[in-house]
Structure 1
Amino acid sequence: MNWREILYKSGAKKRNPSLYKHFNDLLSTDFSHRKELDMLQLERLQRFLIFAYNNSPWNAERMKRAGFNPSEDFSIEKFKKINPIGKEDLVQYNEKIQVGEEFFDKVFYCESSGTSGKVLTFKRDENWDSFNRAAQMRGYSWFGVNPWDFNIYFWGYNSNWKKKLKLRVLDFFVNRNRMFDYSETSLKSLRKKLKNAVFIEGYSSMIYEMAKLGLDQSHSLPNLKMIKGTSEKIFPHYQEVVKKAFGRKIISEYGAAEAGIIAFECPEGNMHITEEGVYVEQDENGEILVTNMLSYSFPIIRYRLGDSIKLADENFKCACGRSHRIIAEVTGRVGKIIVGFNKQYPSLTLYYIFKNIYFEKGLAIDYQATQNEKGKLIIRFLEKLDSKKEDLILEQAKIYFKDDIKIEFEQVASFRMEKGKLRDFISYIS
């Protein structure tokens, strides 16, 4: 045991006493059979719902309106009669959802804004927090990675020097090199540090940007075991560039602060749902609904996370041997609307336009779209497009928009007009 491992485990013992209990439990169910996982999930779901029914007034009302008492006549059919909720509900009814601190030994204050722009604050109890970290650790273990291994982290975009200093101290304890700005100079400064990195994680767009700088040194990265993208969509053409530069593809961790680690990609390339902690549904429109079965201090039940997903067929067997259900694809955010002269279109339309061009023509095009007025869409590019590419984009766009949207092209130096995660569509229309 080296000093880094000792430092990490001593810190974890103090902050998250139940971390390694959860981690060992998750390892014990890692290769459980499908029936065993179903039984475990139903048992945990019922226990969680009974607690929420008795201790979270707002959630109790939701269940009563559905004619559902989880302690009397529990079934998945009745559970699914509870009306789904969105982030705006968690914000508006925050105090009525929250469970009293007297039930828990320790709670952490959390904040999440996400792409919706709505700021959500809530209390996450130690058991919930530890499970979330343990779920991440289990995913790391699939690639032979330890949380105390040296890593490069694209996250924490912050200009406040006091907060930066606090994060620097935290990062020292977890052996992390965090990037606070994403300029080309800063990215190139990572050349030497990359040689010692065991894993890279963070915004997938920034991992891609780093790879594009021509850091073709996959042969000189003997320690690198995992590249993990989170919070942003991983586009197909990202993988080509990243694999060429670093010798590995970007694997996906899917989750949210309030929903927990929902799924983690295995070495075979499939995103396995953390069924020991979350119950995942897909509604009739393809949108994900999440129930976090560890969120006792702030019960998250049938929550619309805001993503459109595709679940793999239930009979699909992953070559890795795990039986956990699989999310085949997170296709993107729902709810963001492109406004035409006469109709409205989901912003996911942009994803399909450029995906079609990539798979049909083999052209990888980085883009960001903005809309300031009805019927007009500005698509921004980092490179100057030739007439052939412009025609291809207009041709694909016409399939979806017909003549309802006027498209203009614009070349820019950067897509990062705002801090935090990169968004492929920004609307300034109310």
Structure 2
Amino acid sequence: MLEKKQNRLAGKKIKLNGYRFLNNMLRKFIYLLGQNIRNPSLKKHFYFLKKSENWSLEELENYQFKKLKELLLVANEHSEFYKNKFIEFDLDVNKISKLSDIKSIPILTKSELLSNSKSIHTNLKFKKTFLATTSGTSGKTLKFNREETADSFNRAAIQRGYSWFNIQPWFRNGYFWGFNFSFIQKIKNNFLDFLQNRYRIFSYEENEIKNFIKQTKNASFISGYSSMIYQTAVYLNKSTLEKPKKLKMVKGTSEKVLNIYQEEVKKAFGVKMISEYGATEAGIIAFECTEGNMHINMEGVLVEEIDQEILVTNLQMQSFPIIRYKLGDYVTLAPRSKKCSCGKSHLIIDEVTGRVGKSIYGKTNIYPSLYFYYIFKNLGNTFQIFLNYQVIQEKKGKLTFLIEQELSKYELEQLNTEILKYFKEDIFYNIIPNSDFKKTKGKLKNFISLIDE
């Protein structure tokens, strides 16, 4: 009797494994079919990136210089904006003889990009282009055409990052993205999610969160807004819901992955949250490896740091050249000598410290928004006080500090000390613990200024 029962269980297990195998093959077929139709050059780019990830730093920079020269020649010949810009600065792109010569090229600001998007486009003809749109959290939306090969290269760079975690893009996955959709848009996204074996959360209501968590039981990875992943982890850790055990990767995008998130995320999902850093117009800039370092996608972008701000050159896009673009982020680049134990030679971004954003207005002085980053970093490094925060300025000379956690008397004293260290008596401020944060177009911004500059 026992033997028969064991045989039945074994038979069910074989059937279940067979079903999973067939389902995976079907999902792979559907995904690759769609990929070959939409992004026919992606496979070629992915194979190249898997090969180049083993290159030396010298080989990577040689490749960067080759792509930079190609890009400059295309921009000079086929982009009205860059042709005029190079003439204005008396720049002969043919005299660019080494990678460091890029410093002679003028910096492209965000306002220039938005104001001259039509003339930045090249007059080259491509078999296939996609209309790309930025999220417009700064209040202005950028639209531009990106050729298929550049789009495919960017997607291949993401897939390479996935491969470091033994993830295939057709694996079951959850997506924290896309809120306030219309009914029609929601139906469209549901169809696209089906093709990509993906499910997503459309609102932050309790039933939606519970349903998302239940679906995560069979997922291999989840990704999206880092603050949403964190909040879901907090909810899961407080609930009696079963925690997922099969996740190989939790990826935060679009927002900074704060250190304070990691304890809750590990407890809820079994793995830490890794970072993918990029921008629509710049492409994938860096991807975190299994050893916790953010490797620059050197085959796709050339990164510079000036006064802690990042400049990005997209080496793969010729339809809409992005050269020495001041993206608007503060970053810290690791020394060239820093080596990662994963074996990759790609340069490393030690930290994306935050958005440059709007200025902070005191009663008499103006301050950079980076001050908030240092205030809370100091609290963590010096006093082991780790807080999740958002600062709002509605009037000049006044700030509201929203703190997610409850604050002890000691923590409140240290926070006050740090704030006064940076602003002294120039700003009146209010600290509100146990606060919910405001979101802008789905994103969580650490500093929201309502002052019209």
Shorter-chain TM-score tier: over 0.9
CA contact (8 A) 2:406 2:434 kept: no
CA contact (8 A) 1:58 1:96 kept: yes
Q: Deviations over 1:266-293 (max 9, x none)?
A: 001101111111111111x111000001
Alpha carbons of structure 1 residues 293 and 366: separation in structure 2 relative to 1, 3 Å? same
Shift of 1:77: 4.4
For residues 178 and 185 of structure 1, the distance between their equivalents in structure 2, rounded to whole angstroms, comes to 13
Give the equivalent residue in structure 1 for 2:148.
126
1:398 corresponds to 2:444: no
For residues 115 and 256 of structure 2, the distance between their equivalents in structure 1, rounded to whole angstroms, comes to 28
Q: Secondary structure at the match of 1:71?
A: helix
Q: Which amino acid aligns with 1:329?
A: E
- The 10-residue stretch of structure 1 (68-77 or 226-235) with the greater mean CA deviation from structure 2: 68-77
Q: Which amino acid aligns with 2:220?
A: V
Give the equivalent residue in structure 2 for 1:81.
104
Q: Secondary structure at the match of 1:389?
A: helix
CA contact (8 A) 2:387 2:404 kept: no
- Computed over aligned residues only, the root mean square deviation of the Cα atoms, in angstroms, reads 1.9
Q: Secondary structure at the match of 1:3?
A: helix
TM-score of the aligned structures, taking structure 2 as reference length? 0.90
Alpha carbons of structure 1 residues 143 and 281: separation in structure 2 relative to 1, 3 Å? same
CA contact (8 A) 1:88 1:118 kept: no
- The 10-residue stretch of structure 1 (68-77 or 357-366) with the greater mean CA deviation from structure 2: 68-77
1:65 corresponds to 2:88: yes
Alpha carbons of structure 1 residues 214 and 113: separation in structure 2 relative to 1, 3 Å? closer
- The 10-residue stretch of structure 1 (348-357 or 269-278) with the greater mean CA deviation from structure 2: 348-357
Q: Deviations over 1:111-154 (max 9, x none)?
A: 11343222101001101100000000000000000111111110
For residues 439 and 303 of structure 2, the distance between their equivalents in structure 1, rounded to whole angstroms, comes to 34
1:189 corresponds to 2:211: yes
TM-score of the aligned structures, taking structure 1 as reference length? 0.95
Give the equivalent residue in structure 2 for 1:221.
244
Unaligned runs of 5+ in 2: 1-23
Shift of 1:412: 6.7
CA contact (8 A) 1:191 1:215 kept: no
Give the equivalent residue in structure 1 for 2:6.
none
CA contact (8 A) 2:221 2:247 kept: yes
CA contact (8 A) 2:361 2:367 kept: yes
Q: Deviations over 1:261-317 (max 9, x none)?
A: 00000001101111111111111x111000001111100010000011111110111
Q: Secondary structure at the match of 2:97?
A: coil
1:163 corresponds to 2:185: yes
For residues 78 and 367 of structure 1, the distance between their equivalents in structure 2, rounded to whole angstroms, comes to 41
Q: Secondary structure at the match of 1:201?
A: strand
Q: Which amino acid aligns with 2:137?
A: T
Alpha carbons of structure 1 residues 10 and 39: separation in structure 2 relative to 1, 3 Å? same
Q: Secondary structure at the match of 2:381?
A: helix
Give the equivalent residue in structure 2 for 1:304.
326
Shift of 1:186: 1.9
Alpha carbons of structure 1 residues 258 and 272: separation in structure 2 relative to 1, 3 Å? same
Q: Secondary structure at the match of 1:300?
A: coil
Alpha carbons of structure 1 residues 359 and 78: separation in structure 2 relative to 1, 3 Å? closer
Q: Higher Cα Rg: structure 1 or 2?
A: 2
Q: Deviations over 1:357-401 (max 9, x none)?
A: 223333332221111111110112345544433222111101111
Alpha carbons of structure 1 residues 363 and 209: separation in structure 2 relative to 1, 3 Å? same
For residues 313 and 95 of structure 1, the distance between their equivalents in structure 2, rounded to whole angstroms, comes to 38
Give the equivalent residue in structure 1 for 2:5.
none
Give the equivalent residue in structure 2 for 1:99.
122
CA contact (8 A) 1:51 1:296 kept: yes
Structure number with higher helix proportion:
2
Q: 1:233 pairs with 246, 250, 256, which one?
A: 256
1:18 corresponds to 2:41: yes
Give the equivalent residue in structure 1 for 2:370.
348
For residues 417 and 222 of structure 1, the distance between their equivalents in structure 2, rounded to whole angstroms, comes to 30
Q: Which amino acid aligns with 1:262?
A: I
Shift of 1:220: 5.3
Q: Secondary structure at the match of 1:189?
A: helix
1:35 corresponds to 2:58: yes
Give the equivalent residue in structure 1 for 2:139.
117
1:143 corresponds to 2:140: no
Shift of 1:215: 3.4
CA contact (8 A) 1:68 1:78 kept: no
Q: Deviations over 1:218-250 (max 9, x none)?
A: 995342110100110111111111112211111
Q: Secondary structure at the match of 1:36?
A: helix
Give the equivalent residue in structure 2 for 1:253.
276
For residues 370 and 285 of structure 2, the distance between their equivalents in structure 1, rounded to whole angstroms, comes to 21
For residues 171 and 148 of structure 2, the distance between their equivalents in structure 1, rounded to whole angstroms, comes to 24
Unaligned runs of 5+ in 1: none
CA contact (8 A) 1:158 1:164 kept: no
Give the equivalent residue in structure 1 for 2:16.
none
Alpha carbons of structure 1 residues 306 and 74: separation in structure 2 relative to 1, 3 Å? same
Give the equivalent residue in structure 2 for 1:242.
265
Between the two proteins, what is the percent identity of the paired residues? 46
For residues 252 and 96 of structure 2, the distance between their equivalents in structure 1, rounded to whole angstroms, comes to 41
CA contact (8 A) 2:120 2:320 kept: yes
For residues 66 and 359 of structure 2, the distance between their equivalents in structure 1, rounded to whole angstroms, comes to 39
Alpha carbons of structure 1 residues 207 and 220: separation in structure 2 relative to 1, 3 Å? closer
